[in-house]
Chains A and B, each alone.
Chain A
């Protein structure tokens, strides 16, 4: 029971946030209208992705310091889950953009950065697959993970804020969504939704890591 409480919490929070996202009252905003409900799916995916990828880099750093293969399993599985969230984030974003901006892909700086971020992590996975020796694979790909993450920070957090042309809120002279359209009716669903989806990611990671650890033991 001790280890299960957070899984129960995940299920409860997920149920609450999905029901809340579809059924709760939302503020009426020009252009956005009911599509604001996508906030609870699209934006939470990005929060989840950033959190999972950051954790992945932390595990890569810990691996480099200790050479413990289990830490590398965590690093790669967190990266895998982050990529999955990233793909879902792009897909939900494209649906939203189709309704609010008129086309699924409008070359928005944040859309482009998201696509590049996915390319970086797909390259990381390709690199892993091309290395045969497991110790070497862990080491080399950890180095690339940290290196790529360092390149990702300016891409995700600095460059989009320097352009004035983004359609997303929170860029250039455009105030962040906190100030004008994220009111308390959205917050009661939005924050639990971030926690719920991230926990779901962690759950998937823990299952995959358990499988990998068992497999490693079996192979030995």
Chain B
């Protein structure tokens, strides 16, 4: 089979298996909605009454936890037998790429839904929506790829759910710092030329994470 069609088939398979277990997807959406609502209720504020700094930080913390919950299952959930089957038919590079692409799309959808819900109840102070969405897209790519790789690592150990959080938080922190900073610039509606270098750093970190995952994944896949 051609490389590209194989990759495409693998991504399609991810979508299909997600669609067959709709409860997982619904669970994630409900998790997101409840977290947003819990934050809204705990601040006990009217819409728009929260400082942009807090708004931004809270938004990304919600996204971070949603991402950990959504992506953590990527390798942990699959059974031994099924893993063995993939092992026999596909190259590990294709598997990790298909997972990264799939979870990026999933996280992107979740983040955008979260953004809508969040702005609905907490108000929307974002001035430069286009650039904010750009940061969201780049952030989703970075978080999804880092989490996919870490979940692959953690799936080999017992009590892997705790391990995913322990292993991924410090790895994602640099990424998250850049995301929060660039998002803050977009919220303040600064002149775009002042923070294009931040966007490039974000791109560079994403490139590092994806490249390293691509190179290292074959080693954990074999064990």
Contacts and interface: CB of A to CB of B under 8 A. Distances in A.
Interface of A: 64, 113, 116-117, 119-120, 123, 126-127, 130-131, 135-136, 139-140, 142-144, 146-148, 150-155, 158-159, 162
Contacts of A153: 208
A150 B212 contact: yes
Top 3 A-B pairs ranked by shortest CB distance?
A119-B170, A155-B174, A120-B170
B157 A64 contact: no
A1 to B, nearest CB: 41
A69 to B, nearest CB: 14
Contacts of A135: 223
B23 interface: no
Given A123-B167, A139-B223, A147-B216, 15 more contacts: A64-B219, A116-B173, A116-B174, A119-B170, A120-B171, A130-B157, A131-B156, A140-B156, A143-B153, A151-B170, A151-B172, A151-B174, A151-B205, A152-B174, A159-B177
A123 B170 contact: yes
Contacts of A130: 157-159, 163
Contact of A154 (B149, B159, B174): B174
Contacts of A147: 149-150, 153, 171, 212-213, 216
B133 to A, nearest CB: 23
B178 interface: yes
Nearest to A109: B177
A6 to B, nearest CB: 33
B209 interface: yes
Nearest to B178: A159
A127 B153 contact: yes
Contacts of B18: none
Chain A contact residues: over half helix, strand or loop, or mixed? helix
B146 interface: yes
B201 interface: yes
Contacts of B172: 151
A158 B201 contact: yes
B163 A127 contact: yes
21 contacts: A64-B219, A116-B170, A117-B170, A120-B170, A120-B171, A123-B166, A123-B170, A126-B163, A131-B156, A135-B223, A142-B219, A143-B216, A146-B212, A146-B216, A148-B171, A154-B174, A154-B204, A154-B205, A155-B173, A159-B201, A162-B201
B53 to A, nearest CB: 14
Contacts of A144: 150, 153, 167
A152 B197 CA distance: 19
B41 interface: no
A123 B172 CA distance: 13
A66 to B, nearest CB: 12
B220 interface: yes
Interface string B133-160: 0000000000000100110011011110
